[in-house]
Amino acid sequence: MIDTKAELDKGLTSDEFALAFDAAAMEKPADDAQGAEGTIPDIGAAEAADKVATDKVTADKVAADKVAADKVAADKVTADKVAADKVTADKVAADKVAADKVTADKVAADKVAADKVAADKVAADKVAAEGTGTNKTTAELQEEEKQRLRDIAAQVMADQAEADRKAKELSTQAEMDKVEATRKAAEKKAAGEYTEEDKVELEALSGDFPSVSKGMAIMERVLTARLTNLVEEKVTAVLSQVQQQLAPLSSTVQTVAANSFEAAVLEKHSDALALLPDLEKWIEEQPAMLRGAYNDVLDGKSETPLADTDALYKLFKTATGKSQPTPDSEEEKKALLAAEKAEKEEKERKLKSQEGVQSRQPDSGTSVVDPDDFDGAFDKFATTAQ
């Protein structure tokens, strides 16, 4: 026989107690189960079984109550949403009613003003007619009243048309504002910026999941810093490579420019190099206000170096009486021409011997760019730098 009190003292639940009770009942002899003579029925076991049944009923009721409470809570959320939607709809309707009332009030006010103007006109016409001794017939007065009413109706229709036009303009402006907002949002997305909708979503995420939002902010900061550093490194490396590749081109351009300028000056003044020391000495003898300007011309700092250098040599030769020697005989003329030709050929040879920009891929041999072909040199460098 099961000891009910001992089993309950073990702290068993109602279900565990019921299982223990069934197991003890199965082990009890058949004659005891039939109530043999001289035995006393175990009343505590029946009471325990009743308690188990009662506990189950109670648990079922608690579960049913919880389901009912959950349904009530869900119904309340739905009702709150319906109420909020109704408040929004009521506000929209109230705004429309207010706008319609403003329009109606304006039309009524305009009608009152028109009626007053018409009445004043009728009174004035009547006074004028009485003053002139003329009396209008009833038909004329009725026609005037009909015309007045027609004028009022026309004015009301015009006011209504104007109100409709303004309403349409407001609607069109609202659509344009919506399109503009969509365009700006698209531009922000394309530029990697947060749109207004993105900000709302992020704020909601930050409020609902602050730890997740904080973690995302940390990841964004770290990724942005890494990307910035990577871009700076790449840009620095590319700029360094470009500077290295441009160094020969820059040197060549400077050399060609200097030689071209010198050749242009010598073409106008073949004795420029021979007269240069005298020219510098003559400049030092000039007033201070002229001396600086003349030196700037010699240093190539003027806005038009070639024209200014030509003018300076002409001024110097005029002031000092120096000019190119004129050959007396045909032999001297020939010798002078030969010397000038040889000098010109030597300069051309030097220009052609200038080192040009070479390709970084010397598969087809060494490629030298014409020093005078600036566009070709730049294009070649741009090709090799890619």
In this prediction the pTM is 0.25
From first to last of the 386 residues of the chain, give the pLDDT tens digit. 555 555 555 555 666 666 766 666 555 544 444 444 444 555 677 888 888 889 888 988 888 888 888 888 888 888 888 888 888 888 888 888 888 888 888 888 888 888 888 788 777 777 666 654 456 788 888 888 889 999 999 999 999 999 888 888 888 888 888 888 887 777 766 666 778 888 888 888 888 888 887 888 888 888 888 888 989 888 888 888 887 777 665 665 556 556 677 888 888 888 888 888 999 999 999 998 888 899 988 888 888 888 999 998 899 999 888 765 444 456 655 666 676 677 677 667 766 665 444 444 444 444 444 545 545 555 554 554 44
Contact (CB, 8 A) for 356 and 384: no
CA pair distance 106, 66, nearest whole angstrom: 60
DSSP per-residue string spanning 143-203:
HHHHHHHHHHHHHHHHHHHHHHHHHHHHHHHHHHHHHHHHHHHHHHHHTTPPPHHHHHHHH
Answer whether 342's CB lies under 8 Å from 349's CB: no
Determine the residue type at 75. Answer: D
Amino acid of residue 78: T
- The residues near 271 (Cβ < 8 Å, ≥ 6 apart) are 324, 325
